[in-house]
Amino acid sequence: MPDLLQLQVHDLEVEILTGVYSEETHLPQPLRISVTADLDLPEHFEPDTPLGASKSYLDLKHAATTSLPKNVHFTLIEAVAEHICDTIFISDARVRRVEVRIVKLAIAEGGESIGITLVRHRR
C-alpha cells in the first residue's frame, strides 16, 4: 500500500440551498461540512520542504464554502458533496480520494448528527 497524506478540514458551517420538501426549498439550510482528501506524497518532508510539496488546507475550505454556487438549489445533499469532490479533484492531480461528510443542522432535534458521508476515488 502506498503512503499518503490526509488533509482535513472539519466542521465548516455553510448555508446552502438544498432540500426536497417545500419548507426546505425557499431558504438556505445550515450544513456542517467536513472534508478529507488523500494525496500522493513525496518520499520525505524535510524542514525546508516548500508548500508546493503538499496542498493548502484553504483549497479544501474553498471547495466546501466559496466554490459552492449560491444561486443553485441542490435537491440532495449528496449533490453538494459531489460538487465538493469534483472541485478538489480538478484542483490537484495528486488527490487520490476525497471524503465529504455533511450534517443537516436544521433537522436535528436533540443534538444528533443526521447526514451523509460520500467517498470518491480518482478514476
Residue 17 has pLDDT above 70, yes or no: yes
The DSSP H or E segment spanning 8 is strand 5-16
Number of neighbouring beta carbons within 10 Å of residue 112: 9
Residue 1 has pLDDT above 80, yes or no: no
Mean pLDDT of 38-63: 88
Q: How large is the greatest C-alpha to C-alpha distance in the chain, in angstroms?
A: 54
CATH code of domain 5-44+52-121: 3.30.1130.10
Residue 49 DSSP class: -
pLDDT at 23 (0 to 100): 67
pTM for the predicted model, two decimal places: 0.91
- Which residue ranges make up each domain of the chain? 5-44+52-121
Q: How confident is the model at residue 58 (pLDDT cuts 50, 70, 90)?
A: very high
Mean pLDDT of 17-33: 83
Q: Are 25 and 58 in contact (CB under 8 A)?
A: no
pLDDT at 106 (0 to 100): 87
pLDDT at 24 (0 to 100): 64
